[in-house]
Amino acid sequence: MSQSDNNTASLLGSDESGQLHLDIAIAHDLTERYEGLIFDCDGTLTNSMPLHYLAWHETMTRHGIDFPESRFYAMGGMPSEKIIAVLSSEQGVTVDVDLATEEKEANFIARIPNVERLAHVTDIAERHLNRIAMSVASGGMRDIVADQLRTIGVADWFPVLVGSEDTELHKPEPDVFLCAAERMGVDPKRCLVFEDSPLGFEAAKRAGMDWVDVRLNA
């Protein structure tokens, strides 16, 4: 490794929690330290979170469930059926979880044509395209995530896509990221996760992976 390469690798050091700061990820060649990049979808590759919340608000209001926006963001990365089960139990509301999940997902699917790239993240992925293993690992349903990736024109960048159906446990458990690493054929310790939610950060830490908080105003 050249002195220049050594300097780059040292700049890519994460902190004690495993966090690599966003500005470093944007500015540097991540292949100097990592062998796999794992991206969340909603709120990371796409700007879909406000659209998800609109779908959630309409659906939960129809079922008599209160779902404040702050709580929605705190539960980012959790599968829809689990969110509904938690909220309905907390509020003592009887609801058909499967039916409510279908309603919410259908509401969001109708909004997918309005989804756009989060360019500061997709630019990182594009810069490393065909140079490092890359995957998407999401708490969302696989088909819905894939539809978003097609809408923003990046579906073929990610040979591996892990959705909520692929693991029994979900964020903050590490399973979704460990599954992605296994399918990429990369040691988890050599993976870097891009995420926007506290549950996702915790899942990456539990997986033994470094991680990036992609929120620009974090």
Residue 104's domain is classified under what CATH number?
A: 1.10.150.240
162 by DSSP, 3-state: which? strand
Q: What is the per-residue pLDDT for 218?
A: 66
104 lies in which domain range?
49-113
| pLDDT, position 76 | 86
Exposed / middle / buried, residue 149 (Cβ in 10 Å: 0-12, 13-18, 19+): buried
Residues 41 and 131 in one domain: yes
Cα–Cα dist 134/17, whole Å: 22
CATH code where residue 187 lies: 3.40.50.1000
Q: Is 160 left (phi over 0), alpha (psi -120 to 50) or beta?
A: beta
Amino acid of residue 205: K
What pLDDT sits at residue 3? 41
Alpha-carbon distance of 55 to 155, in angstroms, equals: 23
Residues 6 or more apart from 99 whose CB is under 8 A from it? none
Shared domain check, 62 and 34: no
Cβ atoms < 10 Å from Cβ of 97: 14
Residues marked active site are found at 40
- Give pLDDT, residue 41: 98
Task: Give the pairing of strands 210-213 and 36-39.
Answer: unpaired
Per DSSP, 95 falls in state -
What is the C-alpha to C-alpha distance for residues 98 and 69, in angstroms, rounded to an integer?
22
Task: Please state whether 70 falls in left (phi above 0), alpha (psi between -120 and 50) or beta.
Answer: alpha
Q: What per-residue confidence (pLDDT) applies to 4?
A: 42
- Do 120 and 194 have their domain in common? yes
* Nearest C-alpha neighbor of 127 from the set 21, 28, 22: 28
List the chain pLDDT tens, one digit each, 218 residues.
444 444 444 466 788 889 999 999 999 999 999 999 999 999 999 999 999 999 999 999 999 999 999 999 999 888 899 999 999 999 999 999 999 999 999 999 999 999 999 999 999 999 999 999 999 999 999 999 999 999 999 999 999 999 999 999 999 999 999 999 999 999 999 999 999 999 999 999 999 999 999 999 86
Total domain count, the chain? 2
Indicate whether 66 and 139 sit together in one domain.
no
pLDDT reported for residue 16? 86
Whether 128 and 59 share a structural domain: no
Q: Among 92, 113, 134, which residue terminates a domain?
A: 113
Q: Do 33 and 89 fall within a single domain?
A: no
User: Beta-carbon neighbour count of residue 102 at 10 Å?
Assistant: 14
| 136 and 202 both lie in a single domain | yes
Confidence (pTM): 0.89
Show Cβ contacts of residue 16 under 8 Å, excluding neighbours closer than 6 positions.
none
Asked if residue 218 is part of any domain, the answer here is no
Q: Residue 14: what pLDDT? A: 81
pLDDT at 168: 94
Domain boundary at 72, 89, 113, which?
Answer: 113
